[in-house]
Amino acid sequence: MLGKGGEDKFANCCHAPIHGHAAASYCRPRPRRRRLHSAQNQLLSRSRSSDAAFLSRGVVGPASPSHGQWRRRSRRVQIAQFFFFRLPILLVPPWKLEAGAHPFLESLRLRLHSAACYDSVVVSVPRQSENSDTLLGNGVVGILAETANMWERRAPLTPSHCARLLLGGGKRGTGVNRIIVQPSTKRIHHDAQYEDVGCEISKDLSECGLIIGIKQPKLEMILPHRAYGFFSHTHKAQKENMPLLDEILEKRVSLFDYELIAGDDGKRLLAFGKFAGRAGLIDFLHGLGQRYLSLGYSTPFLSLGQSHMYPSLAAAKAAVIAIGEEIATFGLPSGICPIVFVFTGTGNVSQGAQEIFKLLPHSFVDAGKLPELSAARSLSQHPQSSKRVFQLYGCVVSSRDMVTPKDPTRCFNKADYYAHPEHYKPVFHERIAPYASAIVNCMYWERRFPRLLSIDQLQQLMKNGCPLVGISDITCDIGGSIEFVNKSTSIERPFFRYDPCTNSCHDDMEGNGVICLAVDILPTEFSKEASQHFGDILSKFVARLASAKELLELPSHLRKACIAHAGRLTSLYEYIPRMRKTIIELPPAPTNLLPDKKYNSLVSLSGHLFDKFLINEALDIIETAGGSFHLIRCDVGQSIDDMSYSELEGKLGENHNYNTTPTANLT
Domain that holds residue 633: 594-666
| 144 CB-contact burial (10 Å; exposed 0-12 / middle 13-18 / buried 19+) | buried
Q: Based on the fold, state whether residues 512 and 545 are members of the same structural domain.
A: no
Q: What is the mean pLDDT of residues 508-536?
A: 96
DSSP one-letter code for 54: G
Residue 581: inside a domain, yes or no?
Answer: no
Residue 135: inside a domain, yes or no?
Answer: no
Q: Among 97, 124, 151, where does a domain finish?
A: 124
pLDDT of 299 strictly over 70 = yes
Q: Based on the fold, state whether residues 362 and 256 are members of the same structural domain.
A: no
Q: How far is CA 185 from CA 219, 222, 229, 374, 456, in A?
A: 22, 21, 22, 51, 47
Residue 605: inside a domain, yes or no?
Answer: yes
Residue 1: inside a domain, yes or no?
Answer: no
Residue 267: inside a domain, yes or no?
Answer: no
Q: Based on the fold, state whether residues 403 and 358 are members of the same structural domain.
A: yes
Read off the CATH number of the domain in which 658 is found: 3.30.70.2690
Lowest mean pLDDT among 95-99, 134-138, 307-311, 470-474: 95-99
Q: Based on the fold, state whether residues 90 and 200 are members of the same structural domain.
A: no
Residue 157: inside a domain, yes or no?
Answer: yes
Q: Based on the fold, state whether residues 53 and 86 are members of the same structural domain.
A: yes
Q: Based on the fold, state whether residues 598 and 572 are members of the same structural domain.
A: no
Per-residue HEC secondary structure of 64-122 comes to: CCCHHHHHHHCCCCEEEEECCEEEEEECCCHHHHHCCCCCCCCEEEEEECCCCCCEEEE
Q: Among 520, 536, 564, where does a domain finish?
A: 520
Lowest mean pLDDT among 30-44, 124-138, 433-447: 30-44
Which comes out higher in pLDDT, residue 324 or 78?
Answer: 324
Which amino acid makes up residue 335? G
Residue 30: inside a domain, yes or no?
Answer: yes
Q: Based on the fold, state whether residues 514 and 384 are members of the same structural domain.
A: yes
Q: What is the mean pLDDT of residues 260-270?
A: 90
Residue 6 half-sphere exposure, CB side, CA atoms within 13 Å?
A: 12
| The 568-569 sheet, strands edge to edge | 200-201, 178-181, 140-143, 210-212, 227-230, 254-257, 562-565, 568-569
Q: Based on the fold, state whether residues 303 and 445 are members of the same structural domain.
A: yes
Cα 169 to Cα 386: distance, rounded to the nearest angstrom: 68
Q: Of the candidates 634, 663, 598, which has an alpha carbon nearest to the alpha carbon of residue 447?
A: 634
Residue 586: inside a domain, yes or no?
Answer: no
Reported confidence tier of residue 478, pLDDT bands at 50, 70, 90? confident
Provide the pLDDT for residue 266.
Answer: 84
Per-residue HEC secondary structure of 482-509 comes to: ECCCCCCECCCCCEEEEECCCCEEECCC
Q: Based on the fold, state whether residues 239 and 348 are members of the same structural domain.
A: no
Q: Among 89, 124, 159, where does a domain finish?
A: 124
Q: Based on the fold, state whether residues 531 and 512 are members of the same structural domain.
A: no
Looking at the 3D structure of the chain, how many domains does it have? 4
Read off the CATH number of the domain in which 150 is found: 3.40.50.720
| 302 CB-contact burial (10 Å; exposed 0-12 / middle 13-18 / buried 19+) | middle
Provide the pLDDT for residue 242.
Answer: 94
Q: What is the mean pLDDT of residues 562-580?
A: 92
SS3 635: strand
Cα 533 to Cα 555: distance, rounded to the nearest angstrom: 22
DSSP one-letter code for 450: P
Q: What is the mean pLDDT of residues 530-543?
A: 97
pLDDT of 384 strictly over 80 = no
Rg of the chain in Å (alpha carbons): 30
Q: What is the mean pLDDT of residues 592-612?
A: 51
Q: Based on the fold, state whether residues 367 and 514 are members of the same structural domain.
A: yes
End-to-end CA distance of the chain: 33
- Do the beta carbons of residue 648 and residue 622 sit within 8 Å? yes
φ and ψ at residue 443, rounded to 5 degrees: -90, 155
pLDDT of 103 strictly over 90 = no
Provide the pLDDT for residue 11.
Answer: 42
- Do the beta carbons of residue 111 and residue 122 sit within 8 Å? yes
Mean pLDDT of the chain: 77
Q: Based on the fold, state whether residues 558 and 511 are members of the same structural domain.
A: no
Cα 20 to Cα 22: distance, rounded to the nearest angstrom: 7
- Do the beta carbons of residue 279 and residue 286 sit within 8 Å? no
Question: How many residues are listed for the chain in this entry?
Answer: 667
Q: Which residues have CB under 8 Å from 522's CB, separation 6+?
A: 275, 276, 279, 280, 283, 307, 474
SS3 603: strand
